Structure formats: structure tokens, C-alpha cells
Amino acid sequence: MEASYRRGRAAGAAIGASLVAGGVFVALTVLADQDVAGRAALPWRADPYHTAIGLAELVVPALALAIVVRLFVWRAPGGPDRAQQTVRAAGTMTALVGAALAFEWAAVIGATDAGRHPAPLVGLGVTSLLVAVATVLLVRSRRPAGAARRWRRDWLGDAALACRWTPLPRSWTGPPAVDAVRRHALALFVGASGLAGAALAGAQSIGEQLTDPLLIGWYFVVATASLTAFCLVGNAVAGFVVRPAPGRVRRAVEAALVTGGSTSLLAVAFRDPARAAVGLGPVTSVPTMAWLTLGTGLGVAVLTAAALLLRTPESTGKATG
């Protein structure tokens, strides 16, 4: 009992520290975005730094919100699964913030005028310290030896439990609805990513005053593909929706979505350095940008699916994220 209590306190401390680090990161990033004059002078506003920071800026608030909502049902049945999954989600959030900070530090080191902007550097140092503290606490609260390897509870079930306190119809949150979502989890991930991608493309077109439909469409596809990849990876790590073990086809499709979406995002971030490395100039047209980024991602996705379909035997497991 005492060991379980200590593990619970360690998990709570790690989750709380991660939320603080993520909140400070998002707050400082939003404040920097509001300062139009100072934003242009930040050394990490250009790629490849900006792409990594933008992903964290988008995903960290969503993960933080999901964690906070889950805390409302923290003492419901299924505590061990809930603690492990929430710590993993907090670890994912902290890792994203840490990666974004690493890109920011790299931009600062490579900038010749970094010393002229002390305020962002102070915020960067404070956030880095908070991430370091959260990382130490997360390591201390890692899953103990002998803990269950297959989850019986997930975030979806907790969300349905929390929705019972709302005026939503019970038919929307009852066991049949939850089971239906579990059966179509991939469609849920793709649909949610598409909605977020559309919102991002719309915000980008308004904020940057974009008028080229091809450029807006390219932005939407890249955002949707990369967010779908993150949803699948995040689900495997934190168990947002516990599903039956995948068969050969589903495993190949999901692996292709992960590798294709991730590759497309990397191609966006490193398009100019990669072209410069082979003696080519920066991308100057939308068709070239689309071919370079989405074409690369599509090629990697096709190769991944083909390799798995040809070599992977049919799964015999019972449950997976």
C-alpha cells in the first residue's frame, strides 16, 4: 500500500511538472507571436526551427487539455492504467517541448545577433529548466517492474465517464458508442487531424494573407498527414484508444501513415538545407514544394506499406493501442 501511494505521488508530481513546463512554453510562444515586430527578429522563426516549434505549439496544448480533463476522473476504477498512460502522455508532451527548445537553442547558437534579444533568451532558459525538472520526475515515475503490459482502460472510456456529468445524450457516451469509436479509431484520428489541418490552413491563410489555393491546399495536406502520424504514435505510447491487435493490412496502412506523414514534415523543415547540400537553390514555387515534400512522404509511405505487406506475418495478439 505504501509503495503504491509513493508511486501515485511520484506520478502526480511528474504530471504536474510537465503541465507547468508545457504551459510556460505555450504562454511564452503565444506572447512572442503577438509581438509582430519582435517576432521577425527571433532566430528560430525560420525553418527548420520553425516547423519543429510549430508542431509543439499545436500539440502541447491539446495534450495538456486531455491530461487536465482526465484528472477529473482520476479516482475512478482503473487507476494503475490511468497513471501509466497519463505519465506517458505527460512524457510525450515534455519530449515535444524539449525538442522545440533544442531547436530554439540551435537557432540561438547559430544566430549572429542572439545577444540583442535578452528577453526571449531568459524565457528559453526558464522553460529549459522546467523541462529538465519534469524529465527527472518522469524518469522517477516510470512503470515499475512487473506492471501490466496490456491496458484495460483508456482515455476514451474516461472521456465517456466524464461526459456523464454533461447534458449530452447518454446514447452518445454509452458503451455502444465507445465500442463503435474503438472499432473506427483510425477514421477518428484521420478525421480529427483533417479538422485541425483545415483550421490551421484557414488561420495560416488569414494570418499570412495567402491567396493561392494550391499553397493553402498544400498546407492543409501536410498538416493533416503530420497530425495523423502523431495521433497514431501518441496512441501507441499513451493508449488514448485501446484497440484489438492490428492485422497485417492495418499494421501496414498505419505504419505507412506514420512514416509518410513524418517524412513530409521533415521534408518541409529541411527542404532548403537539403537542396543546398546538393547544390540547388531554395524552393521558389508551390508545385516544386508540393512535389518535394508530399512526393517524398508518399514515396516513403508506399515503400513502408509494401515492405510490411510482403514480410509481416498476420498478428496473433489480443489488444494494442
- pLDDT tens per residue, range 36-64: 555 556 766 677 777 888 888 889 999 99
Q: Judging by beta carbons within 10 Å of its beta carbon (0-12, 13-18, 19+), is residue 143 exposed, middle or buried?
A: middle
Q: How many CB atoms lie within 10 A of CB 316?
A: 7
What pTM did the predictor assign?
0.83
Q: Which residue has the cell 485501446?
A: 242
Q: pLDDT higher for 214 or 6?
A: 214
Confidence bin at 143 (pLDDT 50/70/90):
low
- pLDDT tens per residue, range 62-121: 999 999 989 888 888 878 888 889 999 999 999 999 999 998 888 888 765 544 566 677
Q: How far apart are alpha carbons 108 and 97 in whole angstroms?
A: 16
CA angle 11/129/114 to nearest 5° reads: 150
- pLDDT tens per residue, range 193-240: 999 999 988 988 887 788 889 999 999 999 999 999 999 999 999 999
Instruction: Supply the pLDDT for residue 261.
Output: 95
Q: How far apart are alpha carbons 98 and 318 in whole angstroms?
A: 34
Please, which residues bridge with residue 320 across strands? Answer: 243
Amino acid at the residue 317:
G
